[in-house]
Amino acid sequence: MGGDYYNSSEMPSFTLTGLPGLENSQHWMFLLLGTFYLVSIVGNTFILFIIKEEQSLHQPMYYFLSLLSVNDLGVSFSTLPTVLATFCFHLREISFNSCMAQMFFIHLFSFMESGILLAMSFDRYVAICNPLRYATVLTDARVVRMGMSVIIRSFCIVFPMPFLLKRLSFCKANVLSHAYCLHPDLIHLPCEDTTINSMYGLFFGLDSALILLSYVLILHAVLAIASREERLKTLNTCVSHICAVLIFYVPMVGVSMVARYGKHAPRYVHTLMSLVYLFVPPMLNPVIYSIKTKEIRRRLCKILLGTKF
């Protein structure tokens, strides 16, 4: 690939980045990330196993949690190959097609997570604001349709991404800020207008606005409850979901803000923000739900300790 300009037919390769300035500590970084992977994979696998085995958890809320766990496993496995190659084997080059494939799966699972959290907020809204109709509104068939809608919508949104990038010419040094391919990182490399590519964040904005609306309605319903104890008990059923929403959207907004406005920030800031965005939610979601859900906590203690909690 001679010269500084590339077109889509030449399909440039990209250079992945570990932690700029900390190259000598890369193996320690992989130990940390390896711990995150282990907690995420083991934790989400336990959640899926417990929900499958525990008859009392065969409810819409936990079906959505199962989908969230599958999705978190997908996020972990999407980043694992290049993180392993970068931090362990110092293999930094990735082909255009491999990069596009990884970007597709990372963002597919990100959009799916956003949709799942929206579906879970609808579940909490119906459970609190219209409890008498909960069983008739959230039937098994409707939960399946909602899950399929989340998957199909996410696929349709993300599918054009690689093709929109492939049509562009690349004129910069194709060095990425991370050990994996992220869309906000890639759209800074072409020397053409990337306005269309930049519009994908609007879909996240719509989901977050609808989640916020659902919680405004939930809060309105909760404040109408006379007993303070009952209000706290009702809100407590939403704590796990609120935590899941915050640990997903706060890092995602941080990554977008740093990519858009932090052009002069040190490169390790971009890297650390993306690590938080992709590693923290899959790791913390099973931990939060294990702590806050009595049935999951009890079954987990029985599996790990052989005792009831």
Q: Give the chain's domain count.
A: 1
Residue 3 placed within a domain: no
Helix residue spans in the chain (DSSP H):
26-53, 60-87, 96-129, 134-137, 140-158, 160-166, 183-186, 195-198, 201-223, 228-236, 239-261, 267-292, 294-305
Residue 2 placed within a domain: no
Residue 291 placed within a domain: yes
How many Å apart are CA 274 and CA 194, to the nearest integer? Answer: 21
Domain encompassing residue 84:
14-305
User: Which pLDDT belongs to residue 197?
Assistant: 58
pLDDT tens over the chain, length 309 residues: 444 444 445 677 898 887 766 656 666 777 888 899 999 999 999 999 999 988 888 999 999 999 999 999 999 999 999 988 888 777 889 999 999 999 999 999 999 999 999 999 999 999 999 999 999 999 999 999 999 999 999 999 899 888 888 887 777 678 887 888 988 788 877 776 666 656 666 666 788 889 999 999 999 888 888 788 888 888 888 999 999 999 999 888 887 777 677 667 777 777 778 788 889 999 999 999 988 888 888 888 887 776 655
User: Which pLDDT belongs to residue 304?
Assistant: 76
Residue 221 placed within a domain: yes
Residue 173 placed within a domain: yes
How far CA 105 is from CA of 268, 288, 293, in Å, comes to 24, 25, 30
How many Å apart are CA 75 and CA 59, to the nearest integer? Answer: 25
User: Which pLDDT belongs to residue 8?
Assistant: 44
User: Which pLDDT belongs to residue 185?
Assistant: 80
For the domain that residue 213 is a member of, what is the CATH number?
1.20.1070.10
Residue 270 placed within a domain: yes
Residue 7 placed within a domain: no
- Amino acid (1-letter code) at residue 304: L
Residue 209 placed within a domain: yes
Classify residue 234 as left (phi > 0), alpha (psi -120 to 50) or beta: alpha
Mean pLDDT of the chain: 84
Helix axes 267-292, 60-87, angle to 10 degrees: 150
